[in-house]
Amino acid sequence: MPFTRSSSSSPRSALRVVKVARPAGRGANPDTSASLSRLPADSLAYSLRLAATTIAAVRCGASLTLALARLAGEPPGARAAAQELAYGALRCHGRGDFILARLLERALPHAETEALLLAAIYRLQTRPEAAHTVVDQAVAAAGEMANGAFRGLVNGVLRNYLRCRDELHAALAEDEPAACQHPQWWLDRLRRAYPEHWREIVAINNGQPPMSLRVNQRRTTLAAYCALLHAAGLSARPAGGHALILARPVPIEALPGFAEGLVSIQDVGAQRATEMLAPVTGERILDACAAPGGKSTHLLEAADIDLLALDIDEIRTQRIAQNLERLGLSATVKAGDCLLPATWWDGRPFDAILADVPCSASGVVRRHPDIKLLRRASDIRLFSHRQAAILDRLWPLLKVAGRLLYTTCSVFPEENAAQIDAFLVRQPAARRLCEERLLPCDEHDGFYHALLQKSA
């Protein structure tokens, strides 16, 4: 039978639509009082409470990175469990909303309770053997939200979901955005751009990313670091250049020599930027959108260069400085807008420029699942305009015969090859030396790199 949000005209079924009441004095904003919880810090209820706070913040417009940063003071175990729940629920974009739309009379007026239901449904889908515990702990977490007004609703919705799970999932499989866990506009773009591969891209986006390392060639070798990993009970395989892919992800503190600068965490696809730009000792190079510094430090590890690491966000430039210090490297770090070179450029042209431009980040969505929720179709045009402006402003800063590497972590052609094609029309002195399109796969995320050279 078709599902409906109103039970008045529906035939009898195991599916019961739960009526929603608005508690007095409560709005749609997420609570921020998890730290006042009376739940045991090692309980699933507490982790669900933290996850609900995080998911609700994202659904209200915050980035997942910022939302998780608010949990910094929580016990490590609870924080890790909440992070897993939040990542999982957000990766399942559309699935939880599809299910709730069929179990609730109307949308919940309390953002955090709705987020709790999304986290709990994700947990029920991944741990079906613990269904009773999950429902019990979700109800306990609901008792600390909206003065406990939705405890009964949470209990009813989750038990109704368990009764009707097969029926709901059969209907979900027929709804493309929910089944593919991507917004429809995103799926439409992927289908147009990659008619033979779009389903593979979607499947990769919905999975777990690899944990990739970059060995600091100034301090150790690939073989020596692999030996350190082995001694620490970890294993990794080479992935080209100075890259390693761990057999399983581990906390940063578990990586031998990380604090001493022996290694950095960087996707294999991102490491291709330095390999393609190929810095030469003595060159003056600009990293125009440098924060948090992964590509800047890789350039410095590869050659003795004079590097200017620029970023528009002054707070994020501190991350660049911290990474430089940890790795024992030196560069000039400035806060500045690459669209306004007169405010930071000293007039001396660069031998090479790395333009890792702002983009949709559609190639790294498995690492940042909040992007599925926060991005809009209209954003692609906005990003494209800004990317074109950055290219036009940086090009005059390059020496004749100099190189500019244009890089995105997007898979949308409008931000990649189409962007470079248009730039080459605007700039007859620009020549495309090579380009590389990396679609997300088991080994790396999605990236695009185009190396340009300026002729006389």
Tokens, residue 377: 């179709």
**Angle formed at CA 30 by CA 84 and CA 373, multiple of 5 degrees:** 55
| Collapsed DSSP state (helix, strand, coil) of residue 163 | helix
- Which DSSP symbol is given to 241? T
396-to-312, 340, 400 alpha-carbon distances in Å: 19, 12, 10
Q: What tens-digit pLDDT sequence spans the chain (456 residues)?
A: 233 333 333 333 456 666 665 544 334 445 444 556 899 999 999 999 999 999 999 999 999 999 999 999 999 999 999 999 999 999 999 999 999 999 998 888 899 999 999 999 999 999 999 999 999 999 999 999 999 999 999 999 999 999 999 999 999 999 999 999 999 999 999 999 999 999 999 999 999 999 999 999 999 999 999 999 999 999 999 999 999 999 999 999 999 999 999 999 999 999 999 999 999 999 999 999 999 999 999 999 999 999 999 999 999 999 999 999 999 999 999 999 999 999 999 999 999 999 999 999 999 999 999 999 999 999 999 999 999 999 999 999 999 999 999 999 999 999 999 999 999 999 999 999 999 999 999 999 999 999 999 997
Using alpha carbons, select from 183, 141, 132, 126 the residue that is nearest to residue 55: 141
Return the C-alpha torsion angle 159, 165, 167, 173, nearest 10: 140
Using alpha carbons, select from 275, 349, 343, 272 the residue that is nearest to residue 310: 343
Phi, psi dihedral angles at 240 (to 5 degrees): 95, 145
CA distance 202 to 187: 8
CB 142 within 8 A of CB 148: yes
- Look up 409 and say whether it is catalytic: yes
CB 311 within 8 A of CB 288: no
- Omega cis (within 30) before 358: no
Indicate the domain borders of the chain. Answer: 34-180, 211-266, 268-454
CA distance 67 to 87: 11
CA distance 157 to 173: 20
Question: Is the pTM value of this prediction over 0.75?
Answer: yes
Ramachandran bin of 328, using left for φ above 0, alpha for ψ from -120 to 50, beta for the remaining angles: left
The whole-number pLDDT of residue 107 equals 84
State the catalytic residue, choosing from 92, 180, 289, 409: 409
CA distance 337 to 339: 5
CA distance 356 to 298: 13
Which residues on neighbouring strands pair with residue 214, listed in sequence order?
243, 264
Tokens, residue 244: 């390693």
- Which DSSP symbol is given to 66? H
Using CA of residue 194, residue 185, residue 363, residue 295, what is the dihedral sign? positive
The whole-number pLDDT of residue 13 equals 46
Tell me which H or E stretch contains 372: helix 370-374
**Angle formed at CA 201 by CA 364 and CA 237, multiple of 5 degrees:** 65
437-to-80, 210, 364, 408 alpha-carbon distances in Å: 34, 19, 14, 10
At a CB cut-off of 8 Å and minimum separation 6, what does 318 contact? none
CA distance 109 to 20: 8
> Which class is 211-266 in CATH?
alpha beta
- Which DSSP symbol is given to 405? E
Q: Which CATH number fits domain 268-454: 3.40.50.150, 1.10.3470.10, 1.10.3720.10, 3.40.50.300?
A: 3.40.50.150
Using alpha carbons, select from 56, 9, 14 the residue that is nearest to residue 34: 56
The CATH number that domain 34-180 falls under is: 1.10.940.10
CA distance 263 to 256: 8
The whole-number pLDDT of residue 1 equals 29
CB 80 within 8 A of CB 86: no
Using alpha carbons, select from 324, 329, 222, 240 the residue that is nearest to residue 276: 240
